[in-house]
C-alpha cells in the first residue's frame, strides 16, 4: 500500500496502525494500563531519561493515544500532536507553555469562554497582560503587537459571529517578530482548514466536536512542530496530568473513521438550511463564512476548504419572549451547549441576557446559533418552519 501521509483516506484508515502486533484486529486495542514494566535496570533508566522516548506511565505516552496522535498530526500537516482530556486542557497547556510573567498576549476578541477566563482570571494573577482586538481588521490587529508580545491567539472562524482572521498575513508578521501563534481551529476541523500551511505554530481543536462526532466523549488536540510538542509534553502535559485516557482516545479513533462522510453530509445540510433561512421573512440576516453575503467571504474562500454545521442568524423579534418561544417550539433541534455531534442544536444569545436588559434594537440580542447535525435537511427545515409560525 502506498504511504501517502497527506492522503486523508490513508491517514484515517491506515496511518499509525500495526495490526500484526495485535492479532490482526481491524480495530485498534484500548491499552487500558496505567503502567509499563521493564526487564532490566538499563531499560528503565533509558525510559526515565526521556519520557517522550517510550512507554513508562500512562500520564505520559500510551500506545492507543499514540495512534491517534499520528493521525491528528498528519491531518493538520504537523510534525506532531498531543491529545488532551478536553479542549480547555489543550488551550491551557498550549498557552501556559509559551508565556511567563511580564509577557503580553494579543488575542482575537471573544475567544471561547474558558480561554478568556484563562486570560482574564488566571494569567492576570501572574503579571501576564492580554489585549483583545478585532481580528477582521488585519492592520489594526497587527498594530496591537507590543514589545513584550510573546503569543498571538486566534480563533477562526469564531463560534458565534463566525468572523475570521487572515492567517497568512498574521502568521507572517508573527514569524518575523518571533512571536508564537496559536489558533482554535475547531469550527473547520483539519479537513476544512490547515493553519500550519499558513505559518501558524500551534493548532488547537476540541475533539469533543467533530473528531468525536457522537457527543459521547471529550477531547482536545494540539498540533505543531516536534520541538513545540516536546516542550509542552515535558512540562504542562505531564505536570497538569490532563492527557486523554485510552478509552476516550479509542472513541476518537472511531470517530475519525467517519469524519469526511459526516462533514460532507453536514455541508450539504448546511447549504439547504441556509437557503431556507434566507427565504424566511422572520430572518433578518444570516452569518456563514462561505455564504456570498458574508463580509469576509473572499478571505474565507482563500483559507478555508469548507465550512459547515454552525450557522448564526438574526431573528426579527420584538421581545426575548418571542425568541424563547421560537427556541422552545423547536423539537428536532435540542437546546444545549457544545456541537459537532450527530444531533442538531439551538442556542439563543439571549439565554445569557437578563429579561430587563433585552434590547430588540441590539441585533446581538437577537442572535441565534444553530448547529446542524446528521439528520435529514428536510426534517430540520420542517421543524424550523413550524417554530417560525409563532414569530
Give the residues lining the site for ligand PLP (CB under 6 A). Answer: 86-88, 112, 159, 184, 186, 206, 208, 218, 220, 338
At a CB cut-off of 8 Å and minimum separation 6, what does 204 contact? 87, 90, 91, 94, 182, 183, 184, 185, 186, 220, 221, 222
CB of 123 to ligand PLP, least distance (A): 17
Q: Which residue number is nearest to ligand PLP in terms of Cβ? A: 87
Q: In this complex, which beta carbon is closest to ligand PLP, that of residue 92 or of residue 141?
A: 92
CB of 206 to ligand PLP, least distance (A): 3
All 3 cell numbers of residue 160? 458565534
CB of 231 to ligand PLP, least distance (A): 21
CB of 351 to ligand PLP, least distance (A): 15
Give backbone dihedrals phi and psi of 334, rounded to 5 degrees, phi first.
-85, 155
Q: Which pairing describes strands 202-206 and 220-224: parallel, antiparallel, or unpaired? A: antiparallel
Q: In this complex, which beta carbon is closest to ligand PLP, that of residue 56 or of residue 252?
A: 252
Q: In this complex, which beta carbon is closest to ligand PLP, that of residue 193 or of residue 276?
A: 193
End-to-end CA distance of the chain: 57
Sign of the CA dihedral 149, 111, 372, 250?
positive
At a CB cut-off of 8 Å and minimum separation 6, what does 172 contact? 199
Q: In this complex, which beta carbon is closest to ligand PLP, that of residue 98 or of residue 189?
A: 189
d(CA 291, CA 155): 19
Q: In this complex, which beta carbon is closest to ligand PLP, that of residue 163 or of residue 383?
A: 163
CB of 186 to ligand PLP, least distance (A): 4
SS3 30: coil
d(CA 215, CA 221): 16
CB of 166 to ligand PLP, least distance (A): 19
Q: In this complex, which beta carbon is closest to ligand PLP, that of residue 208 or of residue 269?
A: 208
- Give the max Cα distance, the chain: 74
Amino acid at each position: 500500500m502506498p504511504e501517502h501521509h497527506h492522503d486523508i483516506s490513508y491517514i484515517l484508515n491506515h496511518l499509525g496502525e500495526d495490526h500484526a502486533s495485535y492479532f490482526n484486529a481491524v480495530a485498534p486495542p484500548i491499552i487500558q494500563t496505567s503502567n509499563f514494566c521493564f526487564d532490566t535496570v538499563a531499560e528503565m533508566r533509558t525510559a526515565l531519561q526521556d519520557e517522550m522516548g517510550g512507554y513508562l506511565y500512562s500520564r505520559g505516552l500510551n500506545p492507543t493515544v499514540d495512534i491517534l496522535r499520528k493521525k491528528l498530526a498528519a491531518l493538520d500537516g504537523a510534525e506532531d500532536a498531543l491529545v488532551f482530556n478536553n479542549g480547555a486542557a489543550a488551550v491551557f497547556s498550549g498557552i501556559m507553555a509559551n508565556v511567563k510573567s511580564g509577557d503580553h498576549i494579543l488575542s482575537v476578541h471573544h475567544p471561547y469562554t474558558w480561554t478568556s477566563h484563562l486570560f482574564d482570571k488566571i494569567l492576570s494573577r501572574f503579571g501576564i497582560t492580554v489585549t483583545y482586538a478585532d481580528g477582521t481588521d488585519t492592520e489594526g490587529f497587527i498594530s496591537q503587537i507590543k514589545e513584550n508580545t510573546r503569543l498571538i491567539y486566534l480563533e477562526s472562524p469564531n463560534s458565534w459571529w463566525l468572523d475570521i482572521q487572515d492567517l497568512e498575513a498574521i502568521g507572517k508578521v508573527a514569524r518575523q517578530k518571533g512571536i508564537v501563534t496559536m489558533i482554535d481551529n475547531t469550527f473547520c476541523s483539519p479537513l476544512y482548514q490547515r493553519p500550519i500551511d499558513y505559518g501558524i505554530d500551534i493548532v488547537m481543536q476540541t475533539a469533543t466536536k467533530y473528531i468525536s462526532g457522537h457527543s459521547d466523549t471529550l477531547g482536545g488536540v494540539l498540533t505543531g512542530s516536534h520541538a513545540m510538542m516536546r516542550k509542552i509534553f515535558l512540562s504542562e502535559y505531564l505536570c497538569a496530568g490532563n492527557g486523554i485516557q485510552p478509552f476516550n482516545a479509542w472513541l476518537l479513533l472511531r470517530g475519525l473513521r467517519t469524519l469526511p462522510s459526516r462533514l460532507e453530509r453536514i455541508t450539504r445540510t448546511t447549504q439547504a438550511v441556509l437557503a431556507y433561512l434566507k427565504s424566511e421573512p422572520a430572518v433578518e440576516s444570516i452569518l456563514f463564512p462561505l455564504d456570498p453575503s458574508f463580509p469576509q467571504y473572499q478571505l474565507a474562500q482563500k483559507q478555508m476548504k469548507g465550512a459547515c454545521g454552525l450557522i448564526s442568524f438574526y431573528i426579527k423579534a420584538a421581545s426575548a419572549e418571542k425568541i424563547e418561544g421560537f427556541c422552545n417550539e423547536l423539537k428536532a433541534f435540542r437546546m444545549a451547549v457544545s456541537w459537532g455531534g450527530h444531533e442538531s442544536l439551538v442556542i439563543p444569545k439571549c439565554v445569557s441576557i437578563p429579561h430587563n436588559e433585552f434590547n430588540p434594537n441590539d441585533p446581538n440580542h437577537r442572535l441565534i446559533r444553530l448547529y446542524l447535525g446528521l439528520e435529514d435537511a428536510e426534517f430540520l427545515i420542517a421543524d424550523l418552519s413550524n417554530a417560525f409560525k409563532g414569530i
